[in-house]
Amino acid sequence: MKLKKTLLLLLIVLLTPVLISCDQLFYFGFNTTTDLPITTTLPTLVNGTITYESEDYSSYPQYVSDTYSLESIDDYNDVLFNTQDYVRHANIELIVTLYEELKIVPWSTETERREVGISTGSGFIFMEDTEYYYAITNYHVIDPEEYLVDYELKAYGDPEFSECEVVVSDADIDLAVIRFLKAERTEITIIDIYQRLYYKFTPGELVMACGNPLEVNDIVTFGEYFSIESIQNVDYDVIYHNAQIDEGSSGGALVDVDGNLLGVNTWGLQSDDIYSFAIPNFIVYMFLINYGILET
């Protein structure tokens, strides 16, 4: 009996390193177990604000989507098509027109507005109240650059552009919130910004980028998440993925397979389509809390 117990103890000791290494291996894949947390505990305010440090990301739990457990290809494809349609209905197209005010003649006090440039970008609706829809975009999309400026947008199904206004903006984070009247719109959806908040992103998981690249409206591209990276001239970590974005995509939503917000598409490299970068959802949430748009 003593010999059996000794052999069993020796076997457990020998197998322990193997079990640990397997756990580390599967940690980077799609974990379909159900014993992981389903919801996160959002951080508490300190002096009215939230802060984020790079090392915070390592403490986030892994996210589990039931979609990756689907065994039917048809069911999985249905999820993809539904998500694609859902995120398109939350997308907006922004036009920013810049003006300068010039004297009609040098000796006159009369002035006129002269257009000096137009820029376009994307955004997505994340909130509503009884009167307005609220959308997130990049600061560099709405940046007036010390000019007079007019903001206009098209939401999904709009036949023409209408006025909108900037509520808050932050050049350092490169984010802004705009709002516009709900009017008679009936085809709008709202991106869920909470479901994936303070969870790790899984390398290899499918992502979708929605926006208006090259003035083509409501385009959704597919790709995969690679990693959280540090890039030059940005003070926080960013999402690296390969869903194609282009000029006009800035401010558009990056979502997971179920349509939950992962980030805001902000940077790409003209030299290579596979390099796309997005502001992570936890930075977006920090921005919204710190500027009083959301309450914890």
Average per-residue pLDDT in the chain?
Answer: 84
Domain boundaries 91-181, corresponding CATH code: 2.40.10.10
Residue 162: which residues within 8 A CB-CB, separation 6 or more?
152, 153, 154, 180, 181, 183
Which backbone phi and psi does 11 adopt, to 5 degrees? Answer: -65, -45
For residues 223 and 239, the answer to whether their CB atoms sit within 8 Å is: no
User: How is the chain split into domains, by residue range?
Assistant: 66-88+190-290, 91-181
What percent of the chain has pLDDT above 70? 82
- Over range 186-196, report the average pLDDT: 96
Predicted confidence at residue 142, as pLDDT, reads 95
Q: Mean pLDDT highest for which of 18-22, 51-55, 120-124, 183-187?
A: 120-124
User: What span, in angstroms and rounded, lies between the C-alpha atoms of 232 and 137?
Assistant: 21
pLDDT at 158 over 70: yes
Predicted confidence at residue 143, as pLDDT, reads 93
Per-residue pLDDT tens over the stretch 192-213: 999 999 999 999 999 999 999 9
Same fold, 66-88+190-290 and 91-181: yes
The pTM assigned to this predicted structure is 0.81
Predicted confidence at residue 272, as pLDDT, reads 61
Domain boundaries 66-88+190-290, corresponding CATH code: 2.40.10.10
CA distances from 206 to 133, 178, 253 (A): 28, 28, 14
For residues 242 and 224, the answer to whether their CB atoms sit within 8 Å is: yes
pLDDT at 5 over 60: no
